[in-house]
């Protein structure tokens, strides 16, 4: 039952944070501009991960045992999150992202 409750809390928290991050996207410079390779015709916020990842990691922290494997998973997820955020802001190359 605790798993279901935690999942519901994480989902509600994520759904509450997404509109705020979408509102803040233009101010943070996190908009995906239209181009010939894109399907959208207006700038779109690139902030889904900013809301989803921290909330999901919070759920993992609440449910998973605090051991070295889980902590290494969380550290790896955080590194990927930071590089994804950096890529959303500055369009880093695919080789650099793959290396990270």
Per residue in 25-80, pLDDT (tens digit) is: 888 888 878 878 778 788 888 788 888 888 888 888 888 888 888 889 889 988 88
The residues, ordered by sequence, that sit 6+ positions from 30 with a Cβ below 8 Å of its Cβ are 45, 46, 47, 50, 88, 89
| C-alpha to C-alpha distance for 51 and 70, rounded to whole angstroms | 21
In this structure, is residue 14 part of a structural domain? yes
**Would you place residue 12 in the very low, low, confident or very high pLDDT band (cuts 50, 70, 90)?**
very high
In this structure, is residue 54 part of a structural domain? yes
In this structure, is residue 15 part of a structural domain? yes
Expressed as residue numbers, the domain containing 16 is 2-29+46-99
- In degrees and rounded to multiples of 5, residue 79 shows phi and psi of -60, -45
In this structure, is residue 90 part of a structural domain? yes
In this structure, is residue 34 part of a structural domain? no
**Would you place residue 13 in the very low, low, confident or very high pLDDT band (cuts 50, 70, 90)?**
very high
């Amino acid at each position: 039952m605790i798993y279901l409750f935690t999942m519901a809390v994480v989902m509600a928290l994520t759904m509450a944070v997404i509109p705020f991050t979408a509102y803040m996207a233009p101010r943070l410079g996190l908009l995906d501009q239209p181009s010939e390779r894109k399907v959208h015709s207006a700038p779109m916020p690139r902030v889904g991960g900013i809301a989803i990842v921290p909330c999901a990691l919070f759920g993992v922290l609440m449910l998973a045992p605090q051991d070295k494997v889980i902590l290494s998973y969380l550290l790896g997820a955080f590194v990927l999150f930071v590089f994804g955020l950096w890529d959303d802001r500055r369009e880093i190359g695919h080789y650099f992202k793959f290396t990270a």
